[in-house]
Amino acid sequence: MKKIFLLAGACGMLSCLAAEPRNVPELMTTAKGEKVASVEQWEKVRAPELLATFTREVYGRRVVERPPQLSFERAEPDEVMMDGKALRKRIRVNYGGKYGKGTFVFTAFIPRQARPAPAFVLICNRKAADNIDPTRARKSDFWPAERIVERGYAAIAFWNGDIAPDWNTGNREGVFACFEAPGARKGTHLWGTLSAWAWGASRVMDWIETEPLLDAKHVGVVGHSRGGKTALVAGVYDTRFAMSCSNDSGCGGAKLNHMDLPDSEHIARIVRVFPYWFAQNFIEWANLEEKLPFDQHQFVALLAPRLVAIASASEDAWAGPEGEYWSGRLASPAWELYGKKGLVSDGFPGADKPLQEGCISYHMRTGKHNLTSYDWDRYLDFADRHGWRGE
Ligand code: GTR
């Protein structure tokens, strides 16, 4: 792959090798070659064009959004927990389609306060019993639910594997099996598993809209790694999410493919190991990064004018921190169309120097590939900053 690097200032291990992306596909030029100069042109022409591209080439076409057969019930009685600070709800989502029925249970810890609480929905891609334990006997920094509640937000979580297993089942399991005829995927660009997990987050959102203790206008969706890719997908395909938090999402998430970051994951590798995460068309783009006519800054831009938080970790070269940062930078013109600021920054920041001035937050935490309370605190700060607690 051709390397066109610009050496930037020598500050910090990653930034002294900092590259600037080159030959990145245009964000603000339509397929017909017109410059996008208004919100109307963006919303009517350019954004739909990009959404169609990402649906066809990367994440796949969903065969269902909110299914007609959808209901919620209490999986367990509500319980006051966390020393009286939270009301726990365990909700079972039941859904059905032409080919079968599905169900999953999620947990919500809602702060006991007078006004409806803003919320964060975690798409948990790690072992549920250890990381999103509804009894709180096991606590994990991956989902610091007590801390989230203490800061005035509801902590909601579900396990991605309950929506669709994280392996290639064709369409024999999970949500796919309810809505697709057996064998229907051949030669199509139907949704991959990332899109299916994001669909699960939207069903949780369906419930949030029915729950008077929650403020459905201020709900963020959070995910780490494969979940971080999913959090972007969730926000792009469901505009009810007011914030998408994409933690260490890398290739297929926030990382720009056009940046040649040799230690990071590339398309050839991700589609070899995880072909089922994506539309089958994405496989064809292996080793063609330089020729890709689209890139992830355009996908991030589809979240405008809502809030986006992109996070990296300093020892997570596999996810490509600079590539994650740059998709935020290059997505920013979409926010500017709305008279807002995107990612306000004059260069790739060092570790633990969060950038939160505009509507795109970026931070790189010192440490390894992980979601920690440091990251959560940045997401909560960002929501506070935008008045989510109504103060
Ligand atoms: C890796 C994969 C990454 C990332 C990660 C994870 O194996 O290459 O794209 O998603 O898994 O989800 O932890």
- HEC string of the chain equals CCCCCCCCCCCCCCHHHCCCCCCCCCCCECCCCCECCCHHHHHHHHHHHHHHHHHHHHHCECCCCCCCEEEEEEEEEEEEECCCCEEEEEEEEEEEECCEEEEEEEEEEEECCCCCEEEEEEEECCCHHHHCCCCCCCCCCCCCHHHHHHCCCEEEEEEHHHCCCCCCCCCCCHHHHHHCCCCCCCCCCECCHHHHHHHHHHHHHHHHCCCCCEEEEEEEEEEECHHHHHHHHHHHHCCCCCEEEEECCCCCCCCCCCCCCCCCCCHHHHHHHCHHHCCHHHHHHCCCHHHCCCCHHHHHHCCCCCEEEEEEECCCHHHCHHHHHHHHHHHCHHHHHCCCCCCCCCCCCCCCCCECCCCEEEEEECCCCCCCHHHHHHHHHHHHHCCCCCC
Q: Which residues line ligand 1 (CB under 6 A)?
A: 125, 225-226, 250-251, 265, 270
Residues 68-126: pLDDT tens digits?
999 999 999 999 999 999 999 999 999 999 999 999 999 999 999 999 999 999 999 99
Q: Is the pLDDT of residue 5 over 60?
A: no
Average pLDDT over residues 202-221: 98
Would you state the pLDDT for residue 3? 37
Residues 246-273: pLDDT tens digits?
999 999 999 999 998 999 999 999 999 9
Report the nearest-CA residue for atom 8 of ligand 1: 270
Would you state the pLDDT for residue 26? 97
Site to probe by mutation for ligand 1, drawn from 251, 263, 265 as the one with most ligand atoms within 8 Å of Cβ, is 265
Rounded distance from Cα 294 to ligand 1 centre (Å) = 22
Q: Is the pLDDT of residue 17 over 90?
A: no
Entry pTM = 0.95
Report the nearest-CA residue for atom 12 of ligand 1: 226
Over the chain, what is the mean pLDDT?
Answer: 94
Residues 355-378: pLDDT tens digits?
999 999 999 999 999 999 999 999
Rounded distance from Cα 286 to ligand 1 centre (Å) = 17
